């Protein structure tokens, strides 16, 4: 009797194992299909249009000081844009802060152009102000395409940001007790057809970090990392983070620092 039960159980396990194998194979096929779709979209990525707009904005004289952003220091020296995005976020001496590309642009707009950026910070997503910032971030990221991610966590403030980002990633809260790790804390899962990267692993972090800013085909919008993170917060039913605030930079730092060594593939394209 015991023996028959044992045999039955073994068969049962074998069937279960087989079923799981089939499901996985189907899942892989679906993901392959999505990859093919992304590959086809890449050829005409409308992000290029935003790169061009961003470049114009970067070179255009504006603000009370009637100056362009061309002398902006993104961490590689004044005016150096090539490769800068792959080294951000980083610590900046002049502001005594760790900044990402988007918050650094705000600094440059303030100091170089004399613009009061408060209305840029508070402007809604999709507003002309935010579209400008997104276009500039897209341009900067495009100048780091195919560059290796090398984000330092050597400075104490950088280390602190990285650790803060990690804490935020695992911080659960809100009406659904959500955290970033609810969706991005395990390997090989997806929501509908969207595979979810496992952010704490170098591969998962890179698949997120190196593909934003990205053009979202279904919405027809260009999104920078700031917007992407704000949307993560929205989906978690968290209060909306302030544009360029420490918590957003910390999460970027956590992702960028974890994906060190990967190659920037910006600007990206998403479904």
Partner 1 sequence: MGNPMKIRAASKDGVTEVKVLMSHEMETGLRKDASGNAIPAWFIAELSAKLNDKPVMTAQWGPSISKNPFLSFKIKGGKAGDKVAVTWTDNKGDSRTDEAVVT
- Least gap, CB of 51 to partner 1 (angstroms): 9
Report the nearest approach of partner 1 to the CB of residue 123 (Å). Answer: 16
Please, are residues 165 and 232 in contact by the beta-carbon 8 Å criterion? no
Q: Which of 31, 121, 217, 232 binds partner 1 (CB under 8 A)?
A: 217
Of 44 and 188, CB closest to partner 1 = 44
**Sheet-wide strand order for 268-270:** 221-223, 214-216, 268-270
DSSP 195: E
Q: Is 251 helix (H, G, I), strand (E, B) or coil?
A: helix
In the bound state with partner 1, the residue whose beta carbon lies nearer, of 41 and 76, is: 41
Q: Which is nearer to partner 1, 55 or 100 (CB)?
A: 55
Q: Which of residues 155-214 bind partner 1 (CB under 8 A)?
A: none
Tell me which residue of 146, 128, 100 sits closest to 245, measured CA to CA: 100
Active site residue 108: no
Binding status of residue 141 toward partner 1 by CB under 8 A: no
Q: Where are the beta strands (DSSP E) in the chain?
A: 90-92, 97-99, 189-191, 194-196, 214-216, 221-223, 268-270
If the CB atoms of residues 34 and 52 are measured against partner 1, the closer one turns out to be: 52
**Shorter beta-carbon distance to partner 1: residue 59 or 203:** 59
Please state the closest distance from residue 50 (CB atom) to partner 1, in A.
9
Cα–Cα distance list, 159 to 20, 122, 171, 253, 268 (Å):
41, 28, 18, 9, 28
Closest CA to 72 of 44, 46, 110, 35: 110
Count of residues that interact with partner 1, criterion CB under 8 A: 11
Q: Report in angstroms how near the CB of residue 271 gets to partner 1 at its nearest.
A: 13
Closest CA relative to residue 183, chosen from 221, 250, 233, 217:
233
List 91's β-bridge partners, or say none: 98
User: Between β-strands 214-216 and 268-270, what pairing exists: parallel, antiparallel or unpaired?
Assistant: parallel
β-sheet bridge partners, residue 221 = 216
Residues 33-62 that bind partner 1 (CB under 8 A): 43-46, 48-49, 52-53
Of 12, 72, 180, 232, which one is the catalytic site residue? 232
Which residues contact partner 1 (rule: CB under 8 A)? Answer: 43-46, 48-49, 52-53, 215, 217, 220
Provide the annotated active-site residues. Answer: 232
């Amino acid at each position: 009797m015991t023996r028959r039960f044992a045999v039955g159980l073994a068969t049962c396990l074998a069937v279960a194992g087989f079923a799981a194998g089939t499901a996985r194979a189907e899942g892989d096929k679906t993901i392959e299909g999505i990859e093919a779709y992304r590959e086809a979209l890449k050829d005409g990525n409308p992000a290029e249009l935003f790169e061009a707009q961003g470049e114009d904005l970067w070179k255009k004289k504006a603000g009370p000081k009637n100056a362009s952003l061309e002398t902006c220091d993104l961490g590689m020296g004044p005016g150096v844009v090539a490769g800068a995005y792959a080294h951000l976020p980083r610590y900046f001496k002049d502001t005594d802060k760790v900044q990402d590309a988007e918050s650094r642009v705000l600094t440059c707009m303030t100091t170089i152009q004399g613009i009061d950026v408060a209305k840029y910070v508070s402007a809604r997503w999709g507003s002309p102000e935010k579209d400008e910032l997104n276009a500039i971030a897209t341009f900067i990221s495009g100048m780091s395409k195919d560059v290796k991610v090398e984000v330092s966590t050597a400075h104490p403030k950088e280390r602190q940001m990285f650790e803060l980002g990690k804490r935020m990633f695992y911080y659960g809260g809100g009406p659904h007790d959500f955290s970033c790790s609810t969706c991005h804390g395990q390997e090989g899962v997806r929501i509908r057809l969207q595979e979810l990267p496992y952010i704490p692993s170098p591969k998962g972090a890179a698949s997120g970090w190196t593909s934003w800013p990205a053009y979202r085909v279904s919405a027809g919008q260009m999104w920078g990392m700031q917007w992407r993170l704000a949307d993560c917060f929205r989906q978690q039913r968290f209060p909306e983070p302030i544009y360029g605030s420490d918590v957003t930079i910390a999460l970027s730092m956590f992702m960028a620092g974890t994906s060190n060594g990967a190659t920037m593939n910006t600007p990206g394209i998403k479904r």
